[in-house]
Amino acid sequence: MTTFLDIGVVRVQRYIGRWPQLRGRRGASALVSTVLDTGHLSAVIKNRARTNPAAGSVDGVLSLEVIAGDPASLAADLIAEIRGLMPAAELEATWADGDDYWIAYAQIAARRSRGDCIVSLPLSSGFPLLKICDLCAMDPAVISLRVIDEQRDACADCAARCEQPNVSPIERRLTDATGLKIATDFNHLAELGFDSKRNHLATVYADGNAFGAFFAALLKSGLAKDGVSAQLNEATWTALIEAAELISQDSQICRVLPHVVGGDDVLVSVPASHAWLFTRTYLQRFNELTAAAVAELGDPSLPAPTASASIVLAHSSWPFNAAADLAADLLARAKRVGAGTVSTIGWLEVTRRGTNIGDALPPIALETLNDWAPNIGRIITDLTSTVRYTFEQQLDGNDPSSAMLEVKTTANRLGYTSLVFPEQSPTWDLRSALDIARWWSHS
């Protein structure tokens, strides 16, 4: 029986986006990777624990096998060390016993869900009569330093980020895999979009569905777990790389800026004009790869995990931290609609519909989106922007029954009835399709 200890950053996407500029995001990503490393924490871990190889690589999480002493004491010492290096991070440590990690992980997940873990929150600065950090505008400034050729006053956490390289480990891995350069900043990334839409970005957040249910079923089956675990971890990166290569195939610059990649989590920025193509490709490949890994086990009763995603479309100047938070809320909504098993996508165009999640259109299943895809393509090629705008206004400005009657009248008059109301797609929703089509170019 082994004691397994997981310790990491809670809501890592929010922590990384705390300083909203790309320099701060990159510094935070590098800081998380550096700090949550057994080598960096070796003085605390020595003779007390070792790396847990079964856990794979997950951004913001360090997984250990405890070999001596009390896991609670080790967790407390590690949190104290990490807190000094990442002052603004929200940290959590949970442990459990098991013959292997996946048996223990079920207990870890259960303990975490009921709050039976060590949680360390950043110290609150309250309302200090001190200068606030120029970079995150959240905590008191404690040091003055040079940031991009400008003297700035920074809090302890932002100062720690500034000490990191201006390229994150996950950016470096994506560059190595694709051979493409990484965009210098968010404006540069937005300019890689198509046509006149080169000032909008999409924040895409993807996460696995029903991984807990899958591993619970795998435990009951008695089949080997380590091999499939490694394959599922690798599926995230493989799907990301293939999606990045697809949307960047006519560019020397990668149209994907990765922020969080690990386990079954992916948080990236892409040009808004490539958001739907990237998201569809990533989810499709992720699902195919996980299904293949599960099929190799030879037990057809095992449920293959899938993934869901969210897309936030906004002007490139809109703060990344706000986009990441909204993407997390949209993803949670999409997962609820998909019952935690069906690949589902939630989306919201901030510049058109605002930031209220209640104004977002209903999430759409990946299978439904793929069914709609040919007709969405025809909306782009066969309808002028003026006609599309007319339909959008009619659908948004009236009650549903009046709106549909007005749209049908206009479609009949212009000869677009079969296009606007395709009989072969019984799930077709014109309002959602038009909203998706706004950023469907070159998909």
pLDDT in tens, 226-239: 667 778 888 999 99
Per-residue confidence (pLDDT) for residue 127, from 0 to 100: 59
Contact 3, 67 (CB under 8 A): no
How sure is the predictor about 424, in pLDDT bands with cuts at 50, 70 and 90? confident
Q: Which fold has domain 169-360?
A: Alpha-Beta Plaits (3.30.70)
pLDDT at residue 211 in the model: 82
Question: Among 93-102, 145-154, 242-251, 258-267, which range has the highest average pLDDT?
Answer: 242-251
- pTM of this structure: 0.89
User: Residue for token digits 């706004």?
Assistant: 438
In angstroms, rounded to a whole number, what is the distance separating the alpha carbons of residues 351 and 348? 9
Q: Note the CATH architecture for domain 2-120.
A: 2-Layer Sandwich (3.30)
Mean per-residue pLDDT for 325-351?
A: 94
The two tokens of residue 436 are 């998706």
pLDDT by residue (tens digit) across 360-387?
A: 999 999 999 999 999 999 999 999 889 9
State in Å, rounded, how far the first CA of the chain is from the last one.
51
Q: Look at residue 325 and tell me whether its pLDDT is greater than 80.
A: yes
Q: Chain centroid to CA 224: how far?
A: 29
Task: State residue 442's pLDDT score.
Answer: 54
3-state helix, strand, coil in the chain (%, to 5): 50, 20, 35
Q: Is the pLDDT of residue 401 over 80?
A: no
**pLDDT band at residue 418, thresholds of 50, 70 and 90?**
confident
Query: Is 211 within 8 Å of 204 (Cβ atoms)?
Result: no
Query: CB within 8 A of 73, min separation 6: which ones?
Result: none
pLDDT of residue 196: 65
* 34 phi, psi to nearest 5 deg: -70, -50
Sheet holding 2-9, edge to edge: 49-51, 61-66, 2-9, 91-98, 118-120
Span 106-125, mean pLDDT?
Answer: 84
**pLDDT above 80: residue 35:** yes
Beta bridge partners of residue 208, listed in sequence order:
307
Distance of CA 388 to the CA centre of its chain: 31
Which residues lie across from 262 on neighbouring strands? 265
Give me the chain's average pLDDT, please.
89
The pLDDT-based confidence of 70 (bands split at 50, 70, 90) is: very high
Q: Which amino acid is at 374?
A: P
The answer, yes or no, to whether residue 198 has pLDDT greater than 70, is: yes
Asked if domains 2-120 and 169-360 share a fold, the reply is: yes
Write out the two tokens for 342. Answer: 């069906």
Residue 72 pLDDT > 90: yes
Sorted by where each begins, the domain ranges of the chain are 2-120, 169-360, 374-437
Q: In this structure, what are the phi and psi dihedrals at residue 307, rounded to the nearest 5 degrees? A: -140, 155
Q: Could you give the C-alpha distances from 82 to 9, 31, 78, 79, 263, in angstroms and in order? A: 10, 11, 6, 5, 21
Amino acid at position 278, single letter: F
For range 284-307, the mean pLDDT: 90
